[in-house]
Structure formats: C-alpha cells, structure tokens
Amino acid sequence: MAYLDWVNSPKDLKKLNNDELGELCDEIRRLMIEVVSKNGGHLASNLGAVELTVALHKVFNSPNDQIVFDVGHQSYTHKILTGRKDSFSTLRTEGGISGFTRPDESEHDIFSSGHSSTSVSSAIGLAKAKTLKGEKGKVIAVIGDGALTGGLAYEGLNNNECSNLIVILNDNNMSISPNVGTMAKNLTNIRTSPKYFTFKSKITRFIAKIPKIGSQITRSITAINQKIRKRVYKNTFFEDLGFRYYGPIDGHNLEDLIDALTVAKAHSHSVLIHINTVKGKGYEFAEKDPSLFHGIGKFNIETGEPLSKGETFSSAFGKSLVGFADKDSRICAVTAAMSTGTGLVEFSKKYPQRFFDVGIAEQHAVTFSAGLAKNGMVPFFAVYSTFLQRSYDQLIHDIAMQNVKVVFGIDRAGFVGEDGESHQGLFDTAFLMSIPNLTVFAPTYFDELSSMMYQSIYKENGACAIRYPRGGECEKPEGYEYQKEPYTVFGNREGDTCLVTYGREFCQCYAALDTLENAFIVKLNRIKPIDASVVDELKNAKRIFFFEEGIKSGGVGEHFASLLAENSVNAEYRHIAVTDEFVKQAPVKSQFKKYHLDTQSIINEVNNE
C-alpha cells in the first residue's frame, strides 16, 4: 500500500496532493473490507465516509480542531489516520480498538459515542467552551441524515450560537429535500471556492470602510444575497437556523470537499455543509445492500455472504408477530429505523399499513405507540435494549401512567459482545423494575418467546415487555416444555441449594445442575412482578444464589432479595451480576466468564471454590 504505509498521523496528509489522497482512499477501503470481513462491524457507513474523513484531516488540525462523529460507527477511517492503523486488525476484538470513538484510545477521539443524534449538542458545548476559554480552533460535528430523524439533533441545531462550529450533514439517502437544478449546483460551486471566498471577504471589507454609507451597503448586499439563495435553493431550513449553508456537494469528490472545508474553516460564523455520499461506496455488495452491511458479522469478501446464519430471537420474534397479525387486525409493528435488526422486514412487506418506521426517534416511537393503543390497536415496539434507555420518561408518563397495552420486544438484552460499552443490554431490567403497570417476561427459548407474546396480547391488561438476547437459543433440556407459569422449578425441590435465574442465563445454570449436589433451579419466566408464591419453593433452602445477566444495582436479584426479606426467608443469599461498571467489547462467551456467569463459574461459586 503505497501511501497508507507511511501515513501515521493527520499531519502526514498535508504532504499529499489530491490524486495521492484519492489513492490513499482506495487503500483505506481495501483495509477496511479485509478487517471487517474477519471481525464484523459497521462497513457500509464507513465505506461512505472515507473521502470526507480524509478531507477533514487534510484541512483541519486535529485535535486542536475537534471532530465529533455522530454515533461513531463511521469513524474507521478516522481511527486509521490517527495512529491506530497498525492496531486496526484488532477492531472490535477483546483488548483491541473499539468500533466506536473512545477518548481513552486517542486524543483525536473527542467524545465517546454509540447512540445517534448526539453530535450537534456535544459539538456546540465544545465550541462554546473554546470561546469561553479564549481557545482557537473549530469544532466539527459529522452527522448523518438518519441521525436527523432524532429530536436531539434539532434541539442542538436550534441552540446554535457559535462562530466556531461546523456541521457536516452526510446525506446518503436524501432524507433532506434535495436542492434542484443546475443553478443551485453552480452557485454552491462558486460559494465554496476559496478564491471566491477570499475575493468576497476583501470586497466586503473595502465597502465597509466607505464613510457614512459603507455599513448600509453591506447590509443591503447581505439581504439581497439571502433573497437570491432562497429563490435558488429549495431548502433554506439550515439558513433559517443561523447557519451558512453550502451544498449539496459530492461527498466522494476530494477537491470539492477540500474547497468547501477550507472556506468553512475561514468563516467567522457557524457553517453547515451538506454532502451526498453512497453507503457502501467501493464494495459492490455493500452498495447493493447497505442495510445488511450496516452492522455485519464475519463475511466472505468474494461473495458478500455472511458466515453465520440460522434463526435468531430477532427472526423468531418477527415470524411470530406476523402469525399474530394474520389473525388479529389490531396488531401493529413499530421500529426506530431498525426493521432489519429487529426482524420486522417480513411484517413490513406483508402488512405495510400496520408497519411504522419512525426513524431514530425512540421517544416518539413509545408515545406514538401509546396513541395507537389508546385508540384500540395493539402495537409491538421492537427495539434494542440499549436504545430503549432513551425513552425512559415516555415509558413512565405515556405508557404506564396511561395504562395502555403496548408490547415492547426488547432485543439484544444482556451481553451483546463486540459492540462494547454503549450497546450492552444490561440496564433495562433495572429501569423497568421501577415502573408500575408494566409486566416483564424473559424467555429462554423461541417457543417461550411466542407464548409470552400471546400472553402479552390476550392475558395481560396493561403494557408488557419481553426481553430476549442477541443470537439464537441454547440447547433445551430433554423433555422441557414451557408451562406458561410465572416460574418453573428444575431438580430436587427438597435440596438445600437453590439457583435462581431467568432468560439466557438459565442455560448456564442448568448445565451446572448435574455437577452440583442437592441443588435445584428456580427459573423466572416473568421477572416483573415476581410471583410471591416462589417463596414457598424455598422453604428447605439454606443457600440461594441469584445469577443475573444484567446490572446488579436495581436488578431483578435485588428485588428478589427484598421478597425474601419481606417473607422472613433466612437462607444465605448471594447475588451474582454485573457490578457498577460498563462492560467492554469481547465475545459473549468471554463476558459470561469474566462476570462469573458461565457454567464453570457457577459451579465454583456454589462450591466455594
């Protein structure tokens, strides 16, 4: 790789001309495809942002100029250019570099991110702090058009009062109304020319110095310019919010990008640059199916085929939901821009009138679902556990207080592996346990998931949540059948050692049961409310171990402990769960072991080894 071999920091880009930078972009794409095919990751979004990132580091001086990537799932080029090229092969591996921006990795990663629509707000805060401290340098927020479906982005844009702020709108799906016509394109080319900008600045300063009438002429010219732009540009939304707007610009044309960024850097006013890019650029399979390659596991480079296949809880959820919708016209499906990830593609095709993708707007999704329910529909909101966190107030105020029937399919609950701290589904149990008028189920197997969906629709009065893990189901015990009870007991009920658990963790506990003496398992199928009669199962227990794939503080195990105390159960009680920390990226198997939730750790814990 002719150029990538010696590009070790953003400073090295300053020595390259545009043709050489183009070659560098091709080399970066090849490296990206090779590593992601082995490690998994967010490929399509990163392939689309290569030229933009190279241009940013060519024009600006990071970290003095601070670049904030929204979500951070398009920062691979940034990582390669900021000293992590040699460690890029460790992307998303245990002990390796993160798939998102992380300040503990590099001074060039200004903000830790993993959730959408946060960049503008954080960038405004960074820019304002620079101003207050008298520091020079720009703050650049890179945000995708998808993230502009989230309300937080607009709260930030509406609060724009910074002269040192630049917002890059990376538009790869034209969700913003396109500017139409050759005139708009030509005007943008002129306005983003450094020569034009320099000439304009000199003329403006000259006119302003004319005695008595200079400032009046300048104001008149500015007003005329604004009127012309509004006539030529069909979209003046960002100008109305106080930004100098440039665009749309070809996001894969390095010369145009560098010119536009150079002009923006010279401005003493907030600027928004609107660029158009192609998701998956440079890799045919990713360009054809950007949704599949948005977040993908290991795949075959030659064919684009994922290496891991098979039914998952997400697909099982989607299949069951279609089955219920076939028989019940009230059933609706809601997603926050995650129809593929949550298994709703089939539903969206078969029942498009009852399928709602509201964009990356989890708060709206929850309250919208409440409205559907209030008027007699039965909405299922399928959402990753980590993203449900964003709508806690709506869960309380618009769901529980209204006591409406909305069913939450909480996907990716528990450990999620290589996505790391921002995506672990470990907090939902703690915040859901605190909400009245809400029933929470935790299936271990696909048939339990379907049965709990049925219970949520037809047997429960208010809102329900069903939390299930990423990936497939574990092996079932021979002869196992779900009894639709709040809990199930396995093993010798007269034993003096009881293991209590729920969801996927049951598989680890059951595997340990044969090795443990005089022990039995209480598997909670419904974790909220915990059925009080479970106490009767513990009358002979001298030791109770609660194993939980979730955060310890406020988790199900703590509520179970309260139930024991209220019923004067005097057995020794141990609660094994994730303590007060964020779980780093690693294979799920490794995460189970680290937090003493794997089979061998359970055996060791019970045997005091």
DSSP string for residues in 68-111: EESSSTT-HHHHIIIIISTTGGGTTSTTS--SS--TTT-TT--S
Q: Is 362 a catalytic residue?
A: yes
> Residue 99's pLDDT is what?
95
Select from 498, 506, 499 the least CA-distant residue to 480: 506
In this prediction, residue 247 has a pLDDT band, given cuts at 50, 70 and 90, of confident
| Mean pLDDT within 323-342 | 96
Which one is catalytic: 58, 84, 191, 279? 279
- Band of pLDDT at residue 71, cut at 50, 70 and 90: very high
| pLDDT the model gives residue 237 | 84
pLDDT digits 0-9 by tens, 467-501: 999 999 999 998 888 889 999 999 988 899 999 99
Tell me: pLDDT of 432 over 60.
Answer: yes
Task: List the single range of 112-126, 194-208, 226-240 with lowest mean pLDDT.
Answer: 194-208
Q: Which band of pLDDT confidence, cut at 50, 70 and 90, is reported for residue 291?
A: confident
**Strands (DSSP E) found in 219-268:** 244-250
- The residue whose two tokens read 């245990």 is 94
Rounded distance between C-alpha atoms, residue 265 and residue 60, angstroms? 8
Instruction: Note the pLDDT tens digit of each residue in 376-395.
Output: 999 999 999 999 999 999 99
C-alpha 134/C-alpha 239 separation (Å) is 27
- Pick the range with the lowest mean pLDDT from 112-121, 214-223, 359-368, 596-605: 214-223
Q: Is the pLDDT of residue 185 over 70?
A: no
Residue 497, both tokens: 């050692």
Catalytically annotated residue among 51, 362, 473, 558: 362
For residue range 530-566, what is the model confidence (pLDDT) as tens digits?
A: 999 999 999 889 999 999 999 999 999 999 999 999 9
**37-49: average pLDDT:** 96
DSSP 333-402: EEESS-TTTTT-HHHHHH-GGGEEE--S-HHHHHHHHHHHHHTT-EEEEEEEHHHHGGGHHHIIIIIITT
Which one is predicted more confidently, 177 or 301? 301
Section 129-154 average pLDDT: 94
Buried b vs exposed e over 212-234: b needs ≥16 C-beta within 10 Å?
eeeeeebeeeeeeeeeebeebbe
Report the mean per-residue pLDDT for the chain. Answer: 91
Res 201 pLDDT > 90: no
pLDDT value of position 557: 98
* Pairwise CA distance, residues 124 & 122, whole Å: 5
pLDDT tens, residue by residue, 11-25 = 999 999 999 999 999
Q: What is the mean pLDDT of residues 346-357?
A: 97
Among 85, 130, 390, 526, the one annotated catalytic: 390
For residue 200, pLDDT beyond 90: no
Q: CA separation (Å) from 250 to 188, 253, 337?
A: 11, 5, 25
CB 477: neighbour CB atoms within 10 A?
13
pLDDT of residue 251: 96
The percent of residues above 90 in pLDDT, for the chain, comes to: 82
Over 80: is that where the pLDDT of 221 sits? no
Instruction: Collect all residues with Cβ–Cβ distance below 8 Å to 76 and sequence separation of at least 6.
Output: 32, 41, 42, 46, 88, 91, 99
What per-residue confidence (pLDDT) applies to 227? 56
pLDDT at position 183 is 34
Instruction: Name every residue whose Cβ is closer than 8 Å to that of residue 59 and which is 6 or more positions away in sequence.
Output: 258, 261, 262, 265
pLDDT at 190 over 50: no
Let me know if 27 is a catalytic residue.
Answer: no
Q: Are 358 and 336 in contact (CB under 8 A)?
A: yes
Reply yes or no on whether the pLDDT at 193 is more than 90. Answer: no
At residue 209 the predicted structure's pLDDT band, cuts being 50, 70 and 90, is low
Q: pLDDT grade, residue 187 (50/70/90)?
A: very low
Least confident of 36-50, 168-182, 529-543: 168-182
Place of tokens 């199928």: 525
